[in-house]
Amino acid sequence: MDGWAYLEDFLQYLRVERQLSPHTLRSYALDLSQFLEFLQESRADTSLKEVAYPDLRAFLADSLKERRKSTVARKLSALRTFFKYLQRQGVVDGNPAKLAPSPKLEKHLPHFLTVDEAFHLLDTSGGDSFGACRDRAILEVFYGGGLRLSEVAGLSLTDLDLKEGVLRVWGKGSKERLAFLGKPAREALGAYLPRRQALLDGAGMPTPAALFVNQRGGRLSSRSLARLVGKWARVAGLSQALTPHGLRHSFATHMLEGQADLRTVQELLGHSSISTTALYTHLNLDYLMEEYDKAHPRSK
């Protein structure tokens, strides 16, 4: 088998066994296709078994000329996973990508809201129309549940238990978890759902699976949801551009400031590693210093 055949096998493994999202699969396919093309152009007679660290270093150096460090880091991660798979399959003896150092990345944390700003945003998105009720429900779900953009876009009506205030969410790697909704989010969804059904009945449309629909009854796309969040942030007069991830970031920050346990926040966010959740702990230095002064015996 040549490198392209092994790549197809690898992508099938990610699709079936790892159950990765289509977006992630496209990223793997793009990055590894670029590597195989680079290998063909630079060393056409080299098999995957013969690939060594210098080959990967040359590819990554070439990639760094035109792309951001974060993109190069993603390509390196794809190569590590690919060669780890090949090693398990007995195709290669070792993983040359393990030797390559990851590019040092600048950490750009998204803008997040203060509690007052979050309340102002949610109060701004009022109204009785289908669109206003839907948008209010979406903002409440983003902020009240700490969901990712892709998770909100993928919600179906059957994922919602309004009485219990619980959403079944499918996160990264198709991992299932529960998201909890407070009273304002439940009330916003309770106001939206009858208008959703009235819209569908009035147009004679069958009830779709999607929880959040557009005026034509179709599922709202990720792009539409992001535009919706940006629109209401502008209407509310918030100073910086707000994204869906900013609302998720606000959820985590406010939970931690409310003295929620870090492990609990990790579970609620669906993070596989607590180190990812720990990024949020340094966002409010004043809060952390106050907690230190209260808790540490040598703080005085």
248 is catalytic: yes
Determine contact, residues 277/271, Cβ cutoff 8 Å.
yes
Buried-exposed string 91-127: b where 16+ CB fall within 10 A, e elsewhere: bbeebbbeebeebeeeeeeeebbeeebbeebbebbee
* pLDDT for the residue 111: 77
How many Å apart are CA 68 and CA 102, to the nearest integer? Answer: 13
28 is catalytic: no
- Kindly state the DSSP code that residue 166 receives in the 8-state scheme: E
DSSP string, 104-164: PPP--PPP---HHHHHHHHHHS--SSHHHHHHHHHHHHHHHHT--HHHHHT-BGGGEETTT
* pLDDT for the residue 251: 92
Q: Which of 74, 136, 148, 249 is catalytic?
A: 148
* pLDDT for the residue 121: 93
175 is catalytic: no
172 is catalytic: yes
Weakly modelled stretches of the chain, pLDDT under 50: none
136 is catalytic: no
Q: How many CA atoms does the CB half-sphere of 88 hold within 13 Å?
A: 8
282 is catalytic: no
Q: Residue 286's CB: how many other CB atoms inside 10 A?
A: 8
Q: Encode pLDDT of 40-82 as tens digits.
A: 888 877 788 888 888 888 888 888 776 677 788 888 889 999 9
How many Å apart are CA 85 and CA 10, to the nearest integer? Answer: 7
Q: Which of 15, 172, 195, 219 is catalytic?
A: 172
Q: Which of 136, 186, 248, 249 is catalytic?
A: 248
Domains of the chain, first to last = 3-99 (1.10.150.130), 115-292 (1.10.443.10)
Across 150-279, the runs of DSSP E, i.e. the strands, are 160-161, 166-170, 176-180
Q: Which of 43, 111, 177, 245 is catalytic?
A: 245
